[in-house]
């Protein structure tokens, strides 16, 4: 029935011969139907074509011949595309080219069989065969290019990519394009070459909404344009009804193909991003797993051995690199949030200085700090803002030679904090200054890469500062002349309530031993964590997966559970729910251990620790016991 409806629409526009038209959407419908529903639906195509032609005044056998040609055309196109592994989402340029190729080749079958049927049935004279064949091929080919993409992409299993305000933007944009198309193709505006205003519309749809947007706009524009041209209006009507429709279909097919290519390129770019972020997150997670046992093993070794300090220092450095990697990944995916509270400037700068004071001393770099005389309050996530200062400070020390100086200064200007981290180091070339906040940008390093790093620190600084409603900029007079990074964020009014330091908020550590269950599938991490906790006098049991954890918990009745979330079989979330439901473990303190920075359901856990966990952070939590 759908095929008949499409066919009747096309046949109504037949001019030279009622059976042949420049507008033939059934080809696109048939190809899409066989690709989406399977080739056995070719019977529906044949019956639809037979009914449409037999009820249009043609002899039955002529109609049957035309129907056979239309069916073989669709079968050939669908088989060819499937053989070449065509993806109906049309999200790759390759798929656009395959579809256009099939649309060019397959109508040869339909045009040849159809025109031969018309001549054999004495419906059309033999002399008209060349012109009829060309018109038939044109209508089928352009119908496939214009109609098939719309049906394919809107019926694909992949949902449309959602963005904030995307629905409203799409509806408003489509309405405006309909008005613009009506203005141009219904002859409301008599200006030469006005039809080309369609291209910006299709480009917008392709870049914003991918293949779905470009295919929809192409069909809407084509429908309005065909209607106007059929009425003798618009830029294509001047050459006559039939010639005008041919020219219009050629023009619209170019518009549709252009939109499909741009949409595919846009979708491929999103998918490459949409994959890079996933790779970075997975890489960071996998790197954290071996880091955890290294950190705990170093804690168990003799601290007087210089090699142990080296292990600790390098493990901490690697943990920071992995942390930056994960943070950048989370920010680019929009899954990181800052918890802003009233904090003192000095309370977020001091930890950053302590983090890298040893590096400054090791490199013989003088470190000076000059904050404002008055107390400055910020609405900030203390940990994240400290991370901003620490990354800038580490960057400055890293690129400053021995004997140089790194300065941290702060000033207030019109309610805005100007926090500067400047150095007397290598400086930044002018052509690089515009790119220093981009991912993986470090400038042209020497082959030996003596300073290492991934080029993530400054990117993270910029994104975190933006999340705090501020900006960060860089200035340098050039290579060898030092660099200054300036962070600008709004200051806050003085705190209305008293604040306590982290040490004051930390619960007292009782001396009583606790029953601790360690659930970790990584064997080395499980062993080192168990040894570390046992050294503190706690009673420890270990489990390698969720099933074992639940069995041990039933008999062991742990007061504290260190639970890796990414477990085989039953994951950590399911284990936590079961532990909460059991009376013997309902009050246990459940601490999540993950290689990721976020949890799907944080309400299941009392604490969330990201691997590798520093012993000085973990052990006080264990001693606190049940909640």
pLDDT tens digits for range 39-91 = 999 999 999 999 999 998 889 999 999 999 999 999 999 999 999 999 999 99
Indicate whether 152 and 20 sit together in one domain.
yes
pLDDT band at 12 (very low <50, low <70, confident <90, very high): confident
- 144 and 9 both lie in a single domain: yes
Q: Are 574 and 512 within one domain?
A: yes
Q: Determine phi and psi for 216, rounding to 5 degrees.
A: -65, -45
CB 257 within 8 A of CB 265: no
CA 176 to chain centre: 28
Q: Which two tokens stand for residue 218?
A: 């192409």
pLDDT at 369: 93
Mean pLDDT of 332-349: 83
Least confident of 66-70, 184-188, 306-310: 306-310
Please tell me whether residues 146 and 1 are part of one structural domain: yes
| CATH number for the domain harbouring residue 576 | 3.40.50.2300
Q: Which of 153-162, 505-514, 588-597 has the lowest mean pLDDT?
A: 505-514
Question: Is it the case that residue 156 has pLDDT exceeding 50?
Answer: yes
pLDDT band at 573 (very low <50, low <70, confident <90, very high): very high
What does pTM read for this prediction?
A: 0.59
415 occurs within a structural domain: yes
Read off the pLDDT of each residue in 4-25 and give the average, rounded to a whole number. Answer: 84
Q: How many helices (H) and strands (E) does the chain have?
A: 21, 12
CATH code of residue 433 = 3.30.565.10
Q: Within 10 A of 436 (CB to CB), how many other CB atoms are there?
A: 21
Domain-located, residue 240: yes
What's the mean pLDDT in 384-409?
Answer: 92
CA distance 111 to 117: 10
Residues 80 and 188 in one domain: no
Q: How many domains does the chain have?
A: 4
More confident residue, 297 or 119: 119
Residue 35 in domain: yes
Q: Are residues 4 and 149 both part of a single domain? A: yes
CA atoms within 13 A on the CB side of 471: 3
Residues 239-257, mean pLDDT to the nearest whole number: 87
Which is nearest to 206 in space by CA: 93, 100, 94? 93
Is residue 282 in some structural domain?
Answer: no
Using DSSP bridges, classify how beta strands 341-344 and 377-380 pair: parallel, antiparallel or unpaired.
antiparallel
Q: Are residues 9 and 100 in the same domain?
A: yes
39's CB contacts (< 8 A; 6+ apart) are: 75, 78, 79
Residue range 293-316: mean pLDDT, rounded: 77
What is the pLDDT confidence band of residue 164, given thresholds at 50, 70 and 90? low
Q: Is residue 572 part of a domain?
A: yes
pLDDT at 138: 92
**Is 162 or 153 the better-scoring residue by pLDDT?**
153
Please check whether residue 303 is in contact with residue 539, taking contact to mean a CB–CB distance below 8 angstroms: no
State the Cα–Cα distance between residues 407 and 369, nearest whole angstrom.
6
Of 522, 526, 396, 492, nearest to 451 (Cα)?
396
Picking from 109, 142, 158, the residue at the C-terminal end of a domain is 158
Inform me whether the pLDDT recorded for 596 exceeds 70: no
Compute the distance between CA of residue 146 and CA of residue 252 in angstroms, rounded to an integer.
8
Do residue 367 and residue 294 come from a single domain?
Answer: no
Place of tokens 């600008």: 488
If you average pLDDT over residues 265-290, what whole number do you get?
A: 78
The reply to whether 198 and 257 lie within a common domain is: yes
Residue 231 per-residue DSSP state = T
Average pLDDT, the chain: 85
Q: Are residues 131 and 222 in the same domain?
A: no
Q: How confident is the model at residue 241 (pLDDT cuts 50, 70, 90)?
A: confident
- How would residue 441 be classed by pLDDT, with cut points 50, 70 and 90? low
pLDDT, position 506: 38
Give me the DSSP letters along 473-491. EEE-SSTTS-EEEEEEEE-
Q: Is residue 484 located within the same domain as residue 462?
A: yes
Q: Residue 605 belongs to what domain range?
A: 287-336+506-627
Amino acid 477: pLDDT: 86
């Amino acid at each position: 029935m759908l095929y008949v409806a499409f066919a009747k629409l096309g046949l109504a526009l037949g001019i030279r011969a009622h059976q042949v038209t420049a507008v033939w959407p059934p080809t696109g419908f048939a190809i899409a139907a066989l690709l989406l529903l399977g080739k056995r639906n070719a019977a529906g195509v044949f019956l639809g074509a037979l009914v449409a032609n037999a009820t249009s005044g043609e002899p039955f056998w002529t109609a049957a011949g035309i129907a056979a040609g239309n069916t073989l055309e669709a079968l050939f196109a669908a088989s060819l595309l499937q053989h070449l592994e065509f993806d109906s989402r049309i999200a790759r340029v390759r798929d656009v080219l395959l579809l256009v190729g099939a649309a060019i080749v397959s109508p040869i079958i339909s045009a040849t069989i159809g025109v031969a049927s018309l001549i054999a049935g004495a419906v059309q004279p033999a002399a008209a065969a060349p012109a009829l064949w060309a018109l038939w091929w044109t209508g089928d080919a352009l119908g496939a290019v214009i109609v098939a993409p719309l049906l394919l992409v809107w019926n694909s299993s992949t949902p449309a990519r959602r963005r904030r305000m995307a629905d409203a933007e799409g509806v408003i944009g489509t309405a405006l394009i309909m008005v613009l198309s009506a203005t141009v193709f219904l002859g409301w505006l008599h200006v030469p070459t006005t039809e080309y205003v369609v291209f910006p519309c299709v480009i917008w749809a392709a870049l914003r909404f991918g293949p779905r947007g470009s295919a929809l706009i192409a069909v809407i524009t084509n429908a309005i344009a065909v209607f106007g041209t059929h009425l003798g209006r618009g830029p294509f009507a001047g050459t006559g009804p039939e010639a005008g429709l041919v020219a219009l279909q050629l023009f619209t097919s170019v518009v549709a193909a252009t939109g499909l290519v741009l949409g595919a390129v846009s979708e491929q770019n999103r998918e490459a991003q949409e994959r890079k972020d996933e790779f970075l997150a997975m890489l960071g997670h996998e790197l954290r797993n071996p880091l955890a046992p290294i950190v705990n093993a170093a804690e168990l070794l003799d601290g007087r051995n210089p090699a142990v300090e080296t292990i600790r220092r390098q493990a901490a450095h690697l943990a920071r690199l992995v942390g930056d990697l994960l943070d950048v990944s989370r920010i680019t995916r929009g899954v990181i949030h800052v918890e802003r509270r009233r904090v003192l400037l000095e309370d977020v700068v001091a930890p950053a200085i302590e983090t890298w004071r040893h590096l400054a001393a090791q490199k013989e770099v003088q470190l000076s700090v000059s904050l404002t005389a008055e107390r400055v309050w910020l609405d900030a996530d203390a940990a994240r803002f400290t991370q901003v200062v620490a990354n800038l400070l580490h960057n400055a020390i890293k690129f400053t030679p021995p004997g140089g100086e790194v300065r941290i200064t702060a000033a207030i200007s019109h309610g805005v904090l100007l926090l500067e981290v400047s150095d007397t180091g290598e400086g930044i070339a002018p052509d690089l200054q515009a790119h220093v906040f981009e991912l993986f940008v470090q400038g042209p390093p020497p082959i030996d890469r003596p300073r290492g790093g991934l080029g993530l620190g400054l990117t993270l600084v910029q994104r975190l500062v933006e999340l705090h409603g501020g900006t960060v900029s860089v200035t340098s007079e050039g290579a060898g002349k030092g660099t200054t990074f300036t962070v600008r964020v709004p200051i806050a009014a003085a705190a209305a309530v008293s604040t306590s330091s982290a040490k004051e908020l930390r619960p007292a550590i009782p001396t009583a031993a606790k029953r601790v269950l360690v659930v970790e599938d990584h064997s080395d991490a499980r062993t080192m964590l168990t040894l570390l906790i046992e050294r503190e006098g706690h009673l420890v049991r270990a489990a390698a997966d969720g099933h074992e954890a639940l069995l041990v918990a039933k008999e062991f009745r742990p007061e504290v559970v260190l639970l890796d979330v990414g477990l085989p079989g039953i994951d950590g979330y399911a284990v936590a729910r079961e532990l909460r439901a059991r009376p013997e473990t309902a009050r246990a303190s459940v601490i999540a251990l993950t290689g990721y920075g976020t949890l799907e359901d944080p309400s299941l856990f009392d604490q969330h620790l990201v691997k590798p966990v520093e012993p000085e952070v973990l052990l006080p939590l264990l001693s606190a016991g049940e909640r």
